[in-house]
Amino acid sequence: MKRLKLFPKTFLYVFSLMAAISLISHALFYFMMPIVYTAQKEAGFQDAQEQLIRALKDAAPDSVADMVSRYALQYQMGVFLYYDGELYNHMAEGGSPADGGHSFQETVNSAWSLPNDGPDIDLSCFRNDFYTRTNAQLCSGTHFDTAEGTPCYLVLLSTLQPVSEAKEAILVFLPFTLALSLLLAVVFALLYSGKIAKPLSEISAVTARMKELDPQAACRVETRDEIGMLSENVNALYQSLLATIDDLQRENARVSQAEAAKVDFLRAASHELKTPVTALQGMLDNMIMGVGRYRDWETYLPVCRDMAGRFGVMIQEILDASRPGFSQEAVEEVPMGGFMEKVLSPYLLIAKAKGVQVDTDFSHDFTAGFPVNAMEKALSNVLSNAVKYTKPSGKVNVCFRGRAVVIENECEPIQASVLTHIFEPFYRPDFSRSRNQGSENPEGGNGLGLYIAAKVLTALPCRFSFEPFGDPDKEGHRGMRFTVFF
């Protein structure tokens, strides 16, 4: 039974239940009908006896015979009455004893006979009241006195033969009704099983498609009962599963990209460190061996120290660039005017030393919320680049426009083809790559400033833009503008 599918299992359950109900109802009908019929017959028999006794007590002597005949016909029974020395009897059709050859005195088991007329009857034969019931008949005898005090004795006889005939008739048609009931049980069990099993089978087939992650799989919802609710829940669960799978795929792609970017970053960092370290090692070897101009170690030792210092700065920037969790720092509400003055102060001295003019306008101050250390790191890198790549006697402008911080520096605008790579780690345009370990271009960058700034602002998150301003075809006020929107 456990291995059967839903339809045959439901059919067997329903058919067994309906067949059991049919069998039990037929059995109850067969056995209870005679009992109920006999009980009703006895109740009617006793009621007829009481009515006849009440009528005879007040009846006139000349109406007794008609009364006996009328009650015998009305209740279909045999009536035997001893009344004031006279014996009256009337047997209605079907009211005689089952065996017509028996005398009445044999039926009631008494010692008197039934004379038509003649001598007085010995009342001693009517001395006992009785009530008997057999499989074929009911018989009752009782004493009573009339209103005038006349002693009477009444015997009633009723047959139970219709009960036996009914049982025989039931035995004839009961198999047909039972067969019809079982046939109806089969039909209704099939209909009910199909009604129950079909939607569940459809749900099972759809869930099999869902197991294969078919995006078009969906259960039909045609009702508002428990099966309809089950279909809705399955559909909702499957849509949630598909959405979760999509999110996981996007997250896996993002993680894969992050891992690939991390590997590329480490490779680029190794390459960037390898070149200056090799140069430093070459200078030290030449100084040790006294080769050429490097014999003047007093001149080149300070150069080596400066190079080592730049290595330290580069390593720190690499560590900052690889550090996660910019967005996990506590957010603070900060007045932007005071914040920008603090961030800008170290670069004012550098700009003055280079002959770069720094103009500020923080008159339209506003308050913004962000992690202070992370934002300071990002804006410091932008300001450092702005001062570093501004021409001598050029200008750097730092101001507020609405809820945005704008940093402009006068320089040769970067071409669009370069801007697409400007935020990549260790990327430097050709005009900034001429870094040597001497004094040719000590200001050359290491390609991490804008990368770190973009990484921090993206993690916070903040919108930003980096674009040229001014007319690139005309001489005059032009350069690059970095804007951070709050």
Q: What global pTM score does this model have?
A: 0.45
* CA distance linking residue 137 with residue 453, whole number of Å: 116
* CA distance linking residue 118 with residue 62, whole number of Å: 19
Joined together, the tokens standing for residue 33 give 């009908």
Per-residue pLDDT, 323 = 63
pLDDT, greater one: 29 or 406: 406
pLDDT, greater one: 473 or 348: 348
Torsion of CA 183, 186, 187, 189, to 10 degrees: 150
Can you give the length of the chain in residues? Answer: 486
Short-list 25, 11, 13, CA closest to 180: 25
234-291 per-position pLDDT tens digit: 999 989 999 999 999 998 888 887 777 677 667 666 766 676 788 788 888 888 888 8
* CA distance linking residue 461 with residue 486, whole number of Å: 10
Cα–Cα distances (Å) from 437 to 280, 298, 304, 366, in that order, read: 8, 16, 8, 44
Q: Sign (positive/negative) of CA torsion 11, 13, 14, 17? A: positive
The answer to whether residues 366 and 486 touch, using CB atoms and an 8 Å cutoff, is: yes
Q: Sign (positive/negative) of CA torsion 465, 470, 471, 476? A: negative
Q: Sign (positive/negative) of CA torsion 271, 273, 279, 282? A: negative
Per-residue pLDDT, 334 = 92
| 297 residue type, one letter | W
Phi and psi torsions of 279, nearest 5°: -65, -45
Q: Which residues pair with 265 in a beta bridge?
A: none
Per-residue pLDDT, 395 = 92
Are the folds of 6-166 and 329-485 the same? Answer: no
407-460 per-position pLDDT tens digit: 999 988 888 888 888 888 777 665 444 444 343 344 455 667 788 888 888 888
Phi and psi torsions of 348, nearest 5°: -65, -40
436 three-state secondary structure: coil
DSSP 211-253: HTT-TT-------SSHHHHHHHHHHHHHHHHHHHHHHHHHHHH
| Residues in contact with 358: Cβ distance below 8 Å, sequence separation at least 6, in sequence order | 344, 347, 348, 351, 387, 395, 396, 397, 398
Phi and psi torsions of 455, nearest 5°: -65, -45
* CA distance linking residue 397 with residue 44, whole number of Å: 122
* CA distance linking residue 157 with residue 80, whole number of Å: 8
Give the residue-averaged pLDDT of 5-18.
83
DSSP code at position 444: -
Q: What's the mean per-residue pLDDT of the chain?
A: 80
Per-residue pLDDT, 41 = 85
The answer to whether residues 91 and 78 touch, using CB atoms and an 8 Å cutoff, is: yes
Residue given tokens 């059967």 in the structure block: 4
- Which fold does the domain 329-485 belong to in CATH? Heat Shock Protein 90 (3.30.565)
DSSP 285-297: HHHHHT-GGGG-H
Query: β-strands 332-335, 130-133: how paired?
Result: unpaired
pLDDT bin (cut points 50, 70, 90) of residue 321 is low
Q: Where is 405: in which H helix or E strand?
A: strand 404-410
Give the residue-averaged pLDDT of 182-193.
88
* CA distance linking residue 384 with residue 390, whole number of Å: 10
Per-residue pLDDT, 433 = 42
Query: Would the pLDDT of 113 be above 50?
Result: no
Residue given tokens 């029974």 in the structure block: 77
The answer to whether residues 108 and 95 touch, using CB atoms and an 8 Å cutoff, is: no
Q: Which CATH superfamily is domain 6-166 in?
A: PAS domain (3.30.450.20)
| Domain regions of the chain by residue span | 6-166, 329-485
DSSP code at position 413: P
Query: Would the pLDDT of 92 be above 60?
Result: yes
Cis? peptide before 461, omega within 30° of 0:
yes
Short-list 189, 180, 89, CA closest to 141: 89
The three-point CA angle 304-308-310 to 5° equals 115
The answer to whether residues 400 and 483 touch, using CB atoms and an 8 Å cutoff, is: no
Joined together, the tokens standing for residue 452 give 């770190």
* CA distance linking residue 370 with residue 330, whole number of Å: 8
